[in-house]
Amino acid sequence: MPNAIRGESLLRRSHADGDETAKEAFAEAVEWQGDERFTGVTISDGSKSFTIAEFASEMALTEIANTIEAAEVGLRGKREH
């Protein structure tokens, strides 16, 4: 899903729309906040905006859910054989 990134610095505002993956959007947002010294950096999935910390939590929870689902599918497959 495409993600948009927004941030502000004392000199300019920036906005990036694109076909970035969640991991690419997160990396760019962290770069903006750290290297570019932007404040108020948010990542939006089109329906909800997240701070960097909130987005990191969402990515971690999604990764955990995907890992659990893959493990459950693998266990079901082993039982069938």
pLDDT value of residue 8: 63
Contact assessment for residue 56 and residue 23, using Cβ atoms and an 8 Å cutoff: no
pLDDT digits (tens, 9 = 90+) for 5-28: 777 654 455 666 666 788 888 888
pLDDT tens, 36-60? 788 888 888 778 889 999 999 999 9
Domain coordinates of the chain in residue numbers? 4-80
Mean pLDDT of the chain: 79
Q: Positive or negative CA dihedral for 41, 44, 49, 53?
A: negative
The answer on pLDDT for 70 being more than 60 is yes
pTM beyond cutoff 0.75: no
State the pLDDT at residue 11.
Answer: 46
